[in-house]
């Protein structure tokens, strides 16, 4: 007997998927094969920042798809240089390394922090301090950086060199610094950890601690970056810049793209042969990255995000007042919003799907709203009405 015939699903059981498959998407809407219509307030976990089938992205994909997909980094890739130049012009950074995913951007950031100190004559500085409940990806280094048992269990021993302190506990942070510390790493808004924004003062204080001790500051803006916070990057609200930043998700608008950005002296320590990737920054990915920036850098784009954020937050706060026994908090930055509930939210999210609204979880009791940045007031009215209906049906 074919042993495999007993296996009901050939995929490794890493995900607990909702019982729905989407067939196509247009703007802020997804459709199933039966024509069911869903308002997408999850954006594939903050990825489809410009919604589905954005005409400029579709056009770019078709044009580049017919021209050239991949050449490898053995050769010049003008579109890669163009995107790097535009990112550098728009940020603190002086140079960029392109990847295919968030975790690779983070891996590059971690390696860069170590390589920088090593190139400065301090190879003993290799440890990175991060914050409890952080999420930086699923490689061995990034699960070690998070330290969360849910991520690390069964995968030991963990790579050495990562220390965690409670989120924004500045005393604990200062106390954890040793002569071996290379960098401080944080998400300006913790995503998987429950949509917890650091304040501008927090970020400034952490920057000061890093400077005092000669440490690098790494921001993981994989989820909160690329316009989601209402500016190109969340840290811009605080006016505090990192030395290294990991970016992904929204930067490709749905095409897998990631990037590690750095200040000149830091990024230059990744010398020839010290790091690399086969796919990262290939012409097809770079065409889409540039196309996303074309739209985001248009006049008024971030103002639009800030405007709809205000409307959505006001509506959610009204719902909190209406359902105080169910909703304990509404928080976030820009269109990265957490609605904390007194009940487990996975069943709520399943119910929302039945009402035609796509939401994402964060932790056990938080509903995460990550709508595409192109939503308008009409989408918000529709989402709030569906949420109202959803909450009215929940017994607390």
Ligand X SMILES: Cc1ncc(COP(=O)(O)O)c(C=O)c1O
Binding string, residues 29-68; x marks residues near ligand X by CB under 6 A: ----------------x-----------------------
Query: Which residue, 285 or 327, is less far from ligand X as judged by CB?
Result: 285
Instruction: By CB under 6 A, tell whether 361 contacts ligand X.
Output: no
Q: How far is CA 296 from the centre of its chain?
A: 16
Residue nearest to ligand X (CB): 102
Q: How many CB atoms lie within 10 A of CB 243?
A: 26
The least CB distance from residue 70 to ligand X, in Å, is 19
Among 163, 187, 236, 340, binds ligand X (CB under 6 A): 187
Asked whether the beta carbons of 130 and 173 are under 8 A apart, the reply is no
Query: Which residue, 189 or 305, is less far from ligand X as judged by CB?
Result: 189
Query: Which residue, 51 or 225, is less far from ligand X as judged by CB?
Result: 225
Query: Which residue, 40 or 192, is less far from ligand X as judged by CB?
Result: 192
The least CB distance from residue 106 to ligand X, in Å, is 6
The least CB distance from residue 109 to ligand X, in Å, is 10
Tokens of 51: 């919604």
Among 191, 194, 197, 338, binds ligand X (CB under 6 A): 191
Query: Which residue, 125 or 136, is less far from ligand X as judged by CB?
Result: 136
Cα distance between residue 37 and residue 30, in whole Å = 6
**Active centre residues (catalytic):** 135, 220, 249
| Stretch of 98-106, 144-152, 330-338, 362-370 lying at the interface with ligand X (CB under 6 A) | 98-106
The least CB distance from residue 337 to ligand X, in Å, is 15
Instruction: By CB under 6 A, tell whether 101 contacts ligand X.
Output: yes
Cα distance between residue 320 and residue 327, in whole Å = 5
Name the burial class of residue 109, with classes exposed (0-12), middle (13-18) and buried (19+) by CB atoms within 10 angstroms of its CB: buried
Size of the site for ligand X (CB under 6 A): 15
- What residues numbered 198-257 form the site for ligand X, per CB under 6 A? 220, 222-223, 248
- What residues numbered 279-298 form the site for ligand X, per CB under 6 A? none
The least CB distance from residue 12 to ligand X, in Å, is 16
The least CB distance from residue 105 to ligand X, in Å, is 8
The least CB distance from residue 234 to ligand X, in Å, is 11
Among 25, 102, 332, 372, binds ligand X (CB under 6 A): 102
- What residues numbered 134-153 form the site for ligand X, per CB under 6 A? 135-137
Instruction: By CB under 6 A, tell whether 131 contacts ligand X.
Output: no
Query: Which residue, 50 or 189, is less far from ligand X as judged by CB?
Result: 189
Instruction: By CB under 6 A, tell whether 103 contacts ligand X.
Output: yes
Q: How many CB atoms lie within 10 A of CB 62?
A: 10
Query: Which residue, 101 or 309, is less far from ligand X as judged by CB?
Result: 101
Asked whether the beta carbons of 339 and 326 are under 8 A apart, the reply is no
Interacting residues with ligand X (CB under 6 A):
45, 101-103, 106, 135-137, 187, 191-192, 220, 222-223, 248
């Amino acid at each position: 007997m074919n042993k495999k015939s007993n296996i009901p699903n050939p995929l490794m059981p890493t995900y607990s998927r909702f019982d729905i498959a989407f067939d196509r998407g247009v703007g802020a809407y997804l459709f199933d094969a039966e024509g069911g219509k869903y308002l997408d307030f999850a954006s594939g976990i903050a990825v489809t920042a410009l919604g589905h089938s954005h005409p400029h992205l579709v056009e770019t994909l078709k044009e580049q798809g017919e021209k050239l997909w991949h050449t490898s980094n053995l050769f010049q890739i003008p579109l890669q240089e163009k995107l790097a130049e535009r990112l550098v012009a728009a940020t603190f950074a002086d140079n960029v390394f392109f990847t295919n995913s968030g975790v690779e951007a983070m891996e590059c950031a971690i390696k860069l922090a170590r390589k920088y100190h090593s190139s400065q004559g301090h190879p003993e500085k290799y440890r990175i301090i991060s914050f409890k409940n952080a999420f930086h990806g699923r490689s061995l280094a990034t699960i070690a950086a998070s330290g969360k048992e849910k991520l690390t269990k069964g995968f030991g021993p963990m790579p050495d060199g990562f220390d965690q302190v409670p989120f924004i506990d500045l005393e604990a942070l200062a106390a954890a610094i040793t002569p071996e510390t290379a960098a401080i790493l944080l998400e300006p808004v913790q995503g998987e950890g429950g949509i917890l924004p650091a304040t501008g003062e927090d970020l400034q204080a952490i920057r000061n601690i890093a400077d005092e001790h000669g440490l690098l500051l790494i921001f993981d803006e994989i989820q909160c970056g690329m316009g989601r916070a209402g500016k190109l990057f969340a840290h811009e609200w605080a006016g505090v810049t990192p030395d290294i930043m990991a970016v992904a998700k929204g930067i490709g608008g749905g095409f897998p793209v990631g990037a590690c950005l750095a200040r000149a002296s830091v990024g230059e320590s990744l010398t020839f042969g010290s790091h690399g990737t086969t796919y990262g920054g290939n012409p097809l990915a770079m065409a889409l990255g540039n196309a996303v920036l074309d739209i985001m850098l248009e006049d008024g784009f971030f103002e639009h995000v800030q405007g709809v954020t205000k409307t959505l937050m006001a509506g959610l706060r009204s719902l909190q007042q209406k359902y105080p026994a169910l909703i304990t908090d509404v928080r976030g930055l820009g269109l990265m919003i957490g609605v904390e509930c007194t009940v487990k939210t996975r069943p709520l999210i399943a119910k929302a799907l039945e009402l035609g609204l796509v939401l994402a979880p964060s932790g056990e009791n938080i509903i995460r709203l990550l709508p595409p940045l192109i939503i308008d007031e009409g989408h918000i009215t529709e989402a709030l009405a569906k949420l109202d209906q959803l909450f009215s049906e929940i017994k607390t």
